Amino acid sequence: MGLTEVIHFRDRQSGQLVPEAIPAEGALRWFYQSRLGFLCTLFCARRASFCRLYGWWQERPSSRRRIAPFAARYHLDLAEVELPPDQYPSFNAFFSRRLKPAARPFAREPETLCSPADGKVLVCPRLEEGALLPVKGACVSVAQILDSEEEARPYAGGTALVVRLAPYDYHRFHFPDSGLAGPSRCLGAKYHSVNPIALERVPRIFALNRRVFTFLDSDHFGRVAYVEVGAFAVGSMVQTYTPGPVVRGQEKGYFQFGGSTLVLFFEPGRVKFDADLVCDSARGLEVHVKTGARIGQRP
């Protein structure tokens, strides 16, 4: 990826190709596309203390002044946000904002698979054993993401969903189906960016970054491996659910400041992704979807 190459995605609602607005793009390209910048990246990505410090800065009351310019620059729909912008005590509080209950409805049909988050989607309709995920620039297997050959084995021949959240997206994530959610556990320790610019330079980011991993024994799509992947400047991934019974559309948790990614694995024969997503993913084109939107169905 060149220094000036523009990243495009397809907006599923309009069908149009859209150039991606990358916050702090110049800095991101310097960190991952220059020699000196990449040395700085390696230093910072190893240190959770950097993310905690950055998170602390985003929690300061003075950070509130960034909310209005941020919302205006990225054309956020403030009508769907739970609270007026001036009621958030910090930028981080606004970043992890909830939406009004009707803003992201989930389909009620049990055979419909809905997106668990807002973001840019890539799908893999069949995971051969040892297959690498179809993420722009990524080169990582299911076993590497789950940090276990044994736990990855049931997903050989299955399917995978990747949802990449940009900093301006709604950053809460949800359960795509009702079922029984197990406890979450943490993997990894680094904090690289998950933007394609970074993935091109560090293809194994999804196996290196801080991750939270949960099994969902869903009612309609089998046993789902649900992974949240942290990113550069993401201080934490907060779990708001309680292990046990959950319902479709229920909030699972949220990312604090930064862009982030969800990766969901499904067992063989459990999910058939929508044809437009399969076609675009085969071309390496991400598609922006919203939480609760249909992305597939039970075969």
Q: Is 148 a catalytic residue?
A: no
Please, which residues have CB within 8 angstroms of residue 81's CB and are 6 or more apart in sequence?
Answer: 97, 98, 99, 100
Q: How far apart are CA 34 and CA 24, in angstroms?
A: 15
From the list 171, 174, 192, 220, the catalytic residue is: 174
From the list 63, 118, 274, 288, the catalytic residue is: 118
Q: Is 192 a catalytic residue?
A: no
Strand 185-187 to strand 294-297: parallel, antiparallel, or no bridges (unpaired)? Answer: unpaired
From the list 260, 274, 281, 288, the catalytic residue is: 260
CB 15 within 8 A of CB 204: no
Q: Is 174 a catalytic residue?
A: yes
Give me the active site residues, please.
118, 174, 260
